[in-house]
Amino acid sequence: KKPKKRRSGCACLVLTVIFVGGVGGVGYFGYQFYQNRFGSAPDYAGSGNGESVSVDIPKDAGGYVIGQRLKDAGVIKSVDAFVAAQEQNPRGKSIQDGGYTLEKEMSAASAVEMMLSPSSRNNLIIPEGFRNVWVYEQIDKRLGVAKGTTQEVAKKDYKKLGLPSWAMNEPNVKDPLEGFLFPSSYGVAKGGKPEAVLKQMVSRATETYESYGVEKKAKSLGLDSPWQLITVASLAQAEGTSHDDFRKMAEVVYNRLKPGNEQTNGMLEFDSTYNYVKNQSKIDLSLTALRKYDNRYNTYYYKGLPPGPIGNPGEEALKGAVNPTSDGWYYFISMDGKTSEFTKTNEEHQKLVDKWNASRKN
């Protein structure tokens, strides 16, 4: 028999190194795979670093959407950590939409717990139909800044706050943000910045308007732009006395805008447009004064729609504007301040006006 060849010690060493290196490589990548699949997601420790931040959660948002909003705001370290914490909390799925005041660098579990606590939602509530002037004042108070600060920011930087392209550069507009400070609940904490709050509100309005397809709807309703559709919604909001009114009120607007209509000849004649430009809310207005006041928002003086929205319409008014009734309404009056009565002719309307005047002994 031939003598066995002796293996080189060097060769054995190389094989050993390769084997160990291979095992090490497999081990490393295996460890990474395990961590990625089964390890804990990156997370902060504790209940925050003391720096308050406001976060707006959209309607019907799931855990991943909420987590992404919180991560973008610097509240949590990872979306996965938040989703895991939400699932582990028995009440985690009951987190609602709206604004929250939280802290930066919170653990995911702390963020979930905080969002379930009423203390995180001591929020600024914007009611339906309120004008921007009022909203600006409330933001100033919440942020602890000088009166007029937020309004000045809105006037100077409105193009940087997220308005859609169709809401830009409208002529003769009193406030480009009117109609875009959407009625909702917002977390507004002292020490925050007006720009951040306004962006939240504009974003909420834009998301809502897009969900209703305002660009396509405007064309189908015979309007020139979605800007006009939001203006119609604001008129329905301002003149309606209940949610049941909005569809009828929107029809009144559309019917009066029809070219050649013999009822109003294109004049809207809404008291609310005069009140808007005067920043008042009066009921008894002089017809003579209304018809003499030369202002583009005064629909007693100019035909058609005012240059822009006259307040911030809520979702119900928006629904009315995109889906009006088709019953032939041209006139309306509120006899009791709580409900409106609609009529199709001036004669019918005048009977109600006479009845209302008699009740007030005018």
- Listed range (32-36, 82-86, 88-92, 303-307) with the worst mean pLDDT: 32-36
Determine the Cα angle at 97 with ends 93 and 103, to 5°: 85
Tens digit of each residue's pLDDT (9 = 90 or more) over 153-170: 999 999 999 999 999 999
> Is residue 307 a contact partner of residue 313, using CB atoms and an 8 Å limit?
no
> Is residue 305 a contact partner of residue 231, using CB atoms and an 8 Å limit?
yes
Share of the chain above pLDDT 70, in %: 89
Which pTM does this prediction carry? 0.75
Tens digit of each residue's pLDDT (9 = 90 or more) over 186-225: 888 888 899 999 999 999 999 999 999 999 999 999 999 9
Tens digit of each residue's pLDDT (9 = 90 or more) over 303-333: 999 999 999 999 999 999 999 999 999 999 9
Q: Specify the pLDDT at position 122.
A: 67
Residues 6+ apart with CB under 8 A from 242: 338, 339, 340
Determine the Cα angle at 184 with ends 180 and 185, to 5°: 130
| DSSP 3-state percent helix, strand, coil across the chain (nearest 5) | 50, 5, 45
- Only one residue has tokens 């809207």, namely 268
Q: 69-73, 261-265, 283-287: which has the highest mean pLDDT?
A: 69-73
pLDDT at 10 over 60: no
pLDDT at 88 over 70: yes
Share of the chain above pLDDT 90, in %: 71
Quote the CA–CA distance of 357 and 362 in Å, as a whole number.
5
pLDDT at 35 over 70: no
DSSP-derived secondary structure letter, 243: G
Fold type of domain 52-121: Dna Ligase; domain 1 (3.30.1490)
Where do the CATH 3.30.1490.480 domains begin and end in the chain? Answer: 52-121
> Is residue 268 a contact partner of residue 299, using CB atoms and an 8 Å limit?
yes
Quote the CA–CA distance of 110 and 58 in Å, as a whole number.
20
